[in-house]
Every structure is written in structure tokens, then in C-alpha cells.
């Protein structure tokens, strides 16, 4: 059995911030072209000797660890300004875009697919937002630096992590290594920047051979930002999270852990008439793991979990209320409980099979204030109102995923899962013509992929995958194609069949990864926001990603990444809505001794393919028409005087360019801020940031 894991850095080696381990394999971070004279100006300082080289600022994810798999460290400093939520973090990975609505809580898009097509798991647990207007996607409850590792699996090429994940799955995970002696280890960071950016993070583990206690917290804050023209955008936020775990480790192969998370915050949005004044999440989880058991059964692992999201949105906490406007608040919540049990079997030297089952139930309720004459009256009204359940979902699934190591160079990986879904419309008859009805479906997903190592460090692959997705809460809440007030039963499951092919090729100083996909989607679930209508269409998606790194010498590396997706609505013979444009990143980076410096040049092409009024589940997340291309230049530098301290700094959008993303939403007319009515919300202007990190063990 072999592990396909790659580590590295821009200088050709990697020094982990926490473990100081060194690996001599190059890695691909994408930054932009910078005139050599600018970096050579720092050469008297950069020639420091006898100090280990460290990884420079991350501006995009590393090369794939394995076909369609990217693993990256969320604690590493990043450019643009280090991420404060999950979507902000993912946008640095080629293939990802974000549906933007201001400073925070964007909805991630992978290869043109968003919403429940993309699985988001936090330590193996599925989480869903509560807001019916998609104010709080799952990534709104992700605080990247509180995790140790983020893994992205692209496409329908795994069945182990949930149902219906046609775009792929993102795993936010905390690592564990048994402590051989009693001690303490951990890390902390401080980030400051323009527009009042102010973040703190701490994480520490105390323990020994028999067990451990881990605890930590994060806090992120920003004021309203200004765009390149100096106009204020309604976008302030304050978010905090805490996590704690207690674990028992009686031997090297056994672990039992009880963990919990608590978080909350507030956020202002430029795209709507309400803001988020509460984002409370409560989580409790119990897991068991037994590894290297010997015999056919190699590993046994299980987890049960509870997630509760309590969200409040209103039109008065974070904005001025114009005279004559009524005060209103809405308070949805969502409780998700679930579990997973799996075992890894090794029936022979050339076989590894994972067999398991998972289940999940989530219940959504809602209450509100109605129209009131004051904020106090609105607060009192929604808190006194009873919660009313409007929809309930249950999913039970079984899966098996196996790898056959044909020989030292060839592998065949495949998987199959079956899910039994049930959704019940709990709305009142005056709200929904399908009130009290139930939708039950049995859906099957699977994949088969062939991989071959054709040279040292080089692999090619081809895979065929199929994912069947049960319609989600947001899709069922719209009107039907026939015009009724409920699409609960009229919306059919979405079925994606996709071919993926690609390679990772390394030769001397060159490192190239390329992947392409072709997918046919039957019953693609499309929302027309101008008619508030959900319907099924047939669609085709084509695209891919290209990453390249050229190690010019031990200090210099030139890099590039390219991503593109083309979507076509075959039913209506028009472009598929909400597809990101072609995006290119070019770069050059320098690292030697304790110093690094680099630049990011991000280029997005104009997008002339659109379907006005149509989009996905993000509230009014629809195509607005064509968008212009743009290019944004950013600089960064880093200094690591020893293995404990790392200081990084950067300037994003150096030339203070005024621009907006194609997938940005249009704005609302908010007093005291620039109004983006019927046009896309602008991104921040020039941003300065500074980050300090400390690691101890």
C-alpha cells in the first residue's frame, strides 16, 4: 500500500510551522509576475545565511496530492488578506469562485456548482445554514485557522462523505498525533489590516500518552470597507468561535474523543434589506477510532453529532432605519443530528475497501416579529413567538469504496452508495399546497477511476462518476413551474454523470497538473428569481484546471494557474446561469533563509455567457448580464527569525482598482453607503495587512 502525499514550498522545501519537518519535493503556490528589480532591491537582506527556508505566503492551494485531491494548511498566511470564513478561504483554490454579497459569508462555487451540490464537512459532520435567504451558508460557520487541514475532493469521485455531492466535497479537519510524553503544544496568531481588520486566534493541546485536552478560539472583525473609488460598502462583521475536546488514547491505535464548538457573530450585507445580527452555532460530537487492528479488519471508526444553528436577521441592528420604515426581524433555526460508522478492510495485499453507513436528520423552524414600530418591539415580538417547523429531512445511506493496487504503478478505485431520502412539508395549508405531504426517494451514486504512475512523481487518471442529489430546503421553498406556491413535490432529484481526466507531471524543475471534466446533468435544478420559481432542466458542463510551477533556481519559482467552466442549459438552448469566467493567476516568488517576498497577479476574463434572472439557491443570486474582466496586483513578504515566530505582510489590490466579481450580487439602497442597485457590489480597494504567528511545542 502506498500513500500519495506531497509536501513542499516555493523554495523547493518545506518547514512546517508547527513540526519543522522538511520535505524536498516542490510545491505549487501561484503568485504573479513581479519585475525582478523590485525583489533584487531586497537582496542585501535576503542573503541571510544559516537560517532554514520557510514556505512563503500562500496565494492558492498546492498541487494535487492525488488525482482530484488538494490538501492545504489553513493556518498558513494567505493572500489576499488571510481568510476569516470558509468561503473566503476556498476562493484561493483554482476551480473555486464565491457568490459575493459584501465583506463576509459568500457562497462557495466549485466548477460552476454551488449550494448543496458541494459538501462541507467539519470534522466529519455535515452542517446546514438556517437562513431561508441563504444569509448563512455552511462556510459561514467555518473559522479556517481553528482547523489543521483542508482537503478538497473535486467531482463525483468519492462516495464516503455524503450524498449528492456532484461538485465535490470539502473536509475541514483537526489533526491528531498521540503525545508520547506529557506536555503542551499549540499556536496563536494576530492579524491587522485596513478597514479595521482585527483577528485573533489561539489553539492549545495539553496531554500525555493516556489522553489530552484541546481548546481554542478565534475572533474576526472588520469595519465597512471602501471600494477603489472610495465609496463605503455596507460590509462590517464581528465573528467569534470556540472549540474544546477531551480525548482518551490508551494506546497508539485507539482514540475516544468528546468535542464541542460554540460560535456567534453579526454581519452587515450590501445586497439586501436585512443584516445578520446572530449566527449562533452549538455543536457536540463523540467519536471512536481503532486503527491497525490486524487481520482483514484494519480500522474501525464511528461518530455521532449534534449541530444547532440559531440565526437572526433584522433591518435595524446594523443599519440606520429611514423614517417611516417598519422594524422587522426573522429567526430561523436548524437542528441537524447524525452519525457515521465505517470500517476499512484489507482482504489482501493489493486490496483496501471502506464499508460504512451514515444517517442524518435535520429540522428547520422559523419565527418572526412581523412589522413593528421600534427595534425593542421587534426584538420582543420574535422572541415571544412560537417556533413553527416548516420542513424536515431524513437521509440514510450505505456505501462502499475500494482500491485495487493492480501493481506498483496502476490502481483502480471505485465506489457505490445508496441513499434513502425523505422530506416532509410541515408548512400550513395556507402557505403551501403540498402541506403535510412527504417526498421519498431511493437514489444511487457511484464512480470508477483508473490511475497510473508513469514516471517518478507523475500520474495520469481517468474517472467516471455519477451523483444523484435530493432537492434541498431552498429549492423546495420556491414556486412550481405550474405557478403554484410550492415546488416541494414538483422538483425532481438532480442527476450528474461526469467524466474526469487529468495528469500530474514532474520533470526536473517543472511541475504541471492538469484536469478536465465533461458532465451531463439530467434534471438540473434551476431557480428563476424574477418569477421565484424552481424547475428542472437538462444541462452540460465542461471545464478544467491547469497548474504549473517552474523552479528557476533554489530561490526563484515562476508559477501559473488557470481555471474555466462552460455551462449550457440544453432545455432552453441558452447558457447555464451563474458560471464564473475564465481566471488566470501568474506569478514569481522568492524565498531564501528567513525571508520571502512575492506578488500575485489575478486576472479574470469578461463573462458574456449569462441567463438574466436565473441562478441557484442564494437569495436573488442570479445572472445580472455581462461583466467586465479585471486584473488585480498584490504583494506580500515574510520573515521567520526562528521556528517559533512567523511575520507576514501584504498589500492587496495595489493600484486601488475598482472592480466586481461576475458572481457578485446586486446591492440594496442602504443609508450612508453606496447603493449597488441593479449592479454588482464592488470589491475592496487597496488593503494593507500584517499577520504574526507563534507556534510552540
pLDDT single digits (tens) 470-520: 999 999 999 999 999 999 999 999 999 999 999 999 999 999 999 999 999
For 204-256, what is each residue's pLDDT tens digit?
Answer: 999 999 999 999 999 999 999 999 999 999 999 999 999 999 999 999 999 99
Q: Note whether residue 4 is domain-resident.
A: no
Confidence class for position 275, pLDDT limits 50, 70, 90 = very high
Number of domains in the chain: 1
User: Residue 13 has what pLDDT?
Assistant: 34
Q: Note whether residue 3 is domain-resident.
A: no
Q: Note whether residue 569 is domain-resident.
A: yes
User: Residue 45 has what pLDDT?
Assistant: 35
Mean pLDDT over all residues of the chain?
90
Confidence class for position 173, pLDDT limits 50, 70, 90 = very high
Q: Are 92 and 77 in contact (CB under 8 A)?
A: no
For 88-108, what is each residue's pLDDT tens digit?
Answer: 999 989 899 999 998 899 999
What are the CA-CA distances from residue 269 to residues 223, 316, 572, 618 (Å)? 12, 12, 33, 13
User: Residue 237 has what pLDDT?
Assistant: 97
User: Residue 76 has what pLDDT?
Assistant: 87
For 636-695, what is each residue's pLDDT tens digit?
Answer: 999 999 999 999 999 999 999 999 999 999 989 998 898 898 899 999 999 999 999 999
User: Residue 81 has what pLDDT?
Assistant: 85
267-303 burial, b for 16+ CB within 10 Å, e for fewer? Answer: bbbbbbebbbbbbbbebbbebebbeeeeeeebbebbb
Q: Note whether residue 283 is domain-resident.
A: yes
Q: Give residue 320's Cα distance to chain centre.
A: 32
For 7-34, what is each residue's pLDDT tens digit?
Answer: 333 333 333 333 333 232 333 323 333 3
User: Residue 587 has what pLDDT?
Assistant: 87
Q: Note whether residue 602 is domain-resident.
A: yes
pLDDT of 574 strictly over 90:
yes
Residues pairing with 214 in the sheet: 205, 245
pLDDT of 573 strictly over 60:
yes
Confidence class for position 428, pLDDT limits 50, 70, 90 = very high
Q: Are 680 and 666 in contact (CB under 8 A)?
A: yes
User: Residue 22 has what pLDDT?
Assistant: 28
User: Residue 636 has what pLDDT?
Assistant: 93
Confidence class for position 58, pLDDT limits 50, 70, 90 = confident
Q: Are 168 and 69 in contact (CB under 8 A)?
A: no
Q: Are 615 and 621 in contact (CB under 8 A)?
A: yes
Q: Note whether residue 250 is domain-resident.
A: yes
pLDDT of 379 strictly over 60:
yes
420's enclosing H/E stretch is strand 410-425
User: Residue 120 has what pLDDT?
Assistant: 95
Q: Note whether residue 1 is domain-resident.
A: no
Percent of the chain with pLDDT over 90: 84
User: Residue 7 has what pLDDT?
Assistant: 33
Task: Classify 378 as helix, strand or coil.
Answer: helix
The whole-number average pLDDT for the span 135-153 is: 94
Residues pairing with 30 in the sheet: none
The residue that leads in pLDDT, 454 or 51, is 454
Confidence class for position 55, pLDDT limits 50, 70, 90 = low
Reference 400, options 154, 156, 120, 158; nearest CA is 158
Confidence class for position 146, pLDDT limits 50, 70, 90 = very high
Percent of the chain with pLDDT over 70: 92
If DSSP states are collapsed to H, E and C, what string results for 173-208? ECCCCCCCCCEEEEEEEEEEECCCEEEEEEEEEEEE
The whole-number average pLDDT for the span 180-196 is: 96
pLDDT of 381 strictly over 80:
yes
Q: Are strands 96-99 and 329-330 parallel, antiparallel or unpaired?
A: unpaired
User: Residue 77 has what pLDDT?
Assistant: 84
User: Residue 14 has what pLDDT?
Assistant: 31
Q: Note whether residue 687 is domain-resident.
A: yes
CATH number at residue 540: 2.40.170.20
Q: ω into residue 346 within 30 of 0, thus cis? A: no
Angle at 383 between CA 378 and CA 384, to 5 degrees: 100
Q: Are 221 and 241 in contact (CB under 8 A)?
A: no
Angstrom distance (rounded) from CA 68 to CA 99:
23
pLDDT of 202 strictly over 90:
yes
User: Residue 60 has what pLDDT?
Assistant: 65
Q: Give residue 495's Cα distance to chain centre.
A: 22
Report phi then psi at 141, rounded to 5: -105, 15
The whole-number average pLDDT for the span 530-543 is: 97
Q: Are 513 and 502 in contact (CB under 8 A)?
A: yes
Task: Classify 306 as helix, strand or coil.
Answer: strand
The whole-number average pLDDT for the span 315-321 is: 95
Domain span holding position 55: 14-696
pLDDT of 148 strictly over 90:
yes
What are the CA-CA distances from residue 181 to residues 21, 178, 208, 252 (Å)? 19, 9, 5, 13
Q: How many CB atoms lie within 10 A of CB 553?
A: 10
pLDDT of 56 strictly over 80:
no
Confidence class for position 294, pLDDT limits 50, 70, 90 = confident
The residue that leads in pLDDT, 696 or 258, is 258
The whole-number average pLDDT for the span 415-442 is: 98
User: Residue 59 has what pLDDT?
Assistant: 67
The residue that leads in pLDDT, 63 or 52, is 63
Amino acid at each position: 500500500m502506498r500513500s500519495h502525499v506531497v509536501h513542499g514550498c516555493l523554495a523547493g522545501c518545506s518547514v512546517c510551522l508547527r513540526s519543522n519537518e522538511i520535505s524536498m519535493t516542490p510545491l505549487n503556490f501561484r503568485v504573479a509576475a513581479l519585475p525582478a528589480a523590485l525583489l533584487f532591491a531586497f537582496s542585501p537582506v535576503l542573503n541571510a545565511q544559516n537560517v532554514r527556508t520557510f514556505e512563503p505566503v500562500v496565494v492558492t492551494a498546492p498541487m494535487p496530492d492525488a488525482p482530484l485531491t488538494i490538501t492545504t494548511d489553513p493556518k498558513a498566511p494567505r493572500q489576499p488578506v488571510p481568510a476569516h470564513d470558509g468561503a473566503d478561504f476556498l476562493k484561493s483554490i483554482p476551480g473555486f469562485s464565491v457568490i459575493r454579497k459584501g465583506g463576509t459569508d459568500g457562497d462557495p462555487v466549485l466548477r460552476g456548482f454551488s449550494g448543496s451540490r458541494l459538501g462541507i464537512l467539519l470534522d466529519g459532520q455535515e452542517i446546514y445554514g438556517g437562513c431561508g435567504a441563504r444569509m448563512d451558508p455552511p462556510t459561514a460557520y467555518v473559522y479556517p485557522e481553528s482547523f489543521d487541514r483542508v482537503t478538497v475532493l473535486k467531482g463525483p469521485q468519492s462516495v464516503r462523505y455524503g450524498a449528492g455531492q456532484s461538485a465535490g466535497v470539502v473536509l475541514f479537519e483537526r489533526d491528531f498525533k498521540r503525545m508520547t510524553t506529557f506536555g503542551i503544544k499549540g499556536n496563536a496568531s494576530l492579524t491587522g489590516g485596513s478597514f479595521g481588520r482585527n483577528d485573533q486566534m489561539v489553539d492549545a493541546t495539553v496531554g500525555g500518552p493516556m489522553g489530552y485536552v484541546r481548546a481554542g478560539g478565534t475572533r474576526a472583525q472588520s469595519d465597512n470597507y471602501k471600494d477603489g473609488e472610495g465609496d463605503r460598502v455596507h460590509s462590517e462583521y464581528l465573528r467569534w468561535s470556540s472549540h474544546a475536546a477531551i480525548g482518551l488514547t490508551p494506546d497508539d491505535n485507539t482514540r475516544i474523543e468528546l468535542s464541542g464548538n460554540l460560535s456567534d457573530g453579526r454581519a452587515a450585507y450590501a445586497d439586501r434589506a436585512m443584516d445578520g445580527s446572530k449566527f449562533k452555532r452549538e455543536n457536540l460530537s463523540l467519536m471512536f477510532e481503532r486503527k491497525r487492528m490486524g487481520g482483514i479488519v484494519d480500522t474501525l471508526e464511528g461518530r455521532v453529532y449534534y449541530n444547532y444553528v440559531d440565526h437572526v436577521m433584522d433591518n435595524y441592528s446594523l443599519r440606520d432605519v429611514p423614517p417611516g420604515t417598519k422594524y422587522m426581524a426573522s429567526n430561523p433555526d436548524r437542528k441537524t443530528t447524525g452519525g457515521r460508522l465505517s470500517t476499512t478492510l484489507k482482504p489482501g495485499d493489493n486490496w483496501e475497501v471502506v464499508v460504512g453507513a451514515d444517517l442524518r436528520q435535520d429540522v428547520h423552524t422559523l419565527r418572526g416579529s412581523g412589522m413593528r414600530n421600534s427595534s425593542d418591539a421587534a426584538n420582543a415580538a420574535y422572541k415571544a413567538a412560537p417556533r413553527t417547523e416548516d420542513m424536515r429531512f431524513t437521509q440514510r445511506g450505505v456505501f462502499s469504496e475500494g482500491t485495487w493496487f493492480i501493481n506498483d504503478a496502476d490502481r483502480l478505485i471505485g465506489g457505490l452508495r445508496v441513499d434513502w431520502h425523505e422530506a416532509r412539508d410541515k408548512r400550513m395549508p395556507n402557505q403551501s399546497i403540498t402541506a403535510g405531504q412527504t417526498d421519498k426517494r431511493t437514489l444511487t451514486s457511484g464512480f470508477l477511476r483508473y490511475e497510473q504512475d508513469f514516471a517518478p512523481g507523475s500520474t495520469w487518471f481517468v474517472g467516471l462518476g455519477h451523483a444523484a442529489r435530493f432537492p434541498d430546503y431552498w429549492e423546495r421553498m420556491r414556486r412550481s413551474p405550474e405557478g403554484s406556491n410550492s415546488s416541494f413535490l414538483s422538483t425532481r432529484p438532480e442527476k450528474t454523470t461526469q467524466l474526469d481526466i487529468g495528469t500530474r507531471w514532474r520533470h526536473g524543475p517543472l511541475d504541471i497538473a492538469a484536469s478536465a471534466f465533461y458532465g451531463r446533468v439530467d434534471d438540473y435544478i434551476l431557480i428563476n428569481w424574477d418569477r421565484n420559481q424552481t424547475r428542472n432542466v437538462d444541462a452540460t458542463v465542461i471545464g478544467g484546471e491547469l497548474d504549473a510551477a517552474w523552479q528557476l533556481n533554489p530561490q526563484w519559482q515562476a508559477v501559473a494557474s488557470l481555471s474555466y467552466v462552460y455551462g449550457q442549459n440544453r432545455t432552453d438552448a441558452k447558457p447555464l446561469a451563474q458560471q464564473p469566467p475564465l481566471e488566470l493567476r501568474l506569478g514569481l516568488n522568492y524565498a531564501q533563509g528567513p525571508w520571502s517576498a512575492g506578488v500575485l497577479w489575478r486576472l479574470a476574463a469578461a463573462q458574456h455567457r449569462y441567463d438574466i434572472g436565473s441562478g441557484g439557491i442564494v437569495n436573488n443570486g442570479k445572472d445580472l448580464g455581462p461583466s467586465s474582466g479585471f486584473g488585480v496586483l498584490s504583494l506580500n513578504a515574510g520573515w521567520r527569525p526562528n521556528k517559533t515566530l512567523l511575520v507576514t505582510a501584504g498589500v492587496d489590490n495595489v493600484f486601488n482598482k475598482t472592480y466586481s466579481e461576475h458572481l457578485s450580487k446586486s446591492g440594496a439602497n442602504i443609508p450612508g453607503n453606496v447603493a449597488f442597485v441593479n449592479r454588482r457590489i464592488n470589491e475592496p480597494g487597496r488593503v494593507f495587512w500584517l499577520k504574526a504567528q507563534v507556534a510552540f511545542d
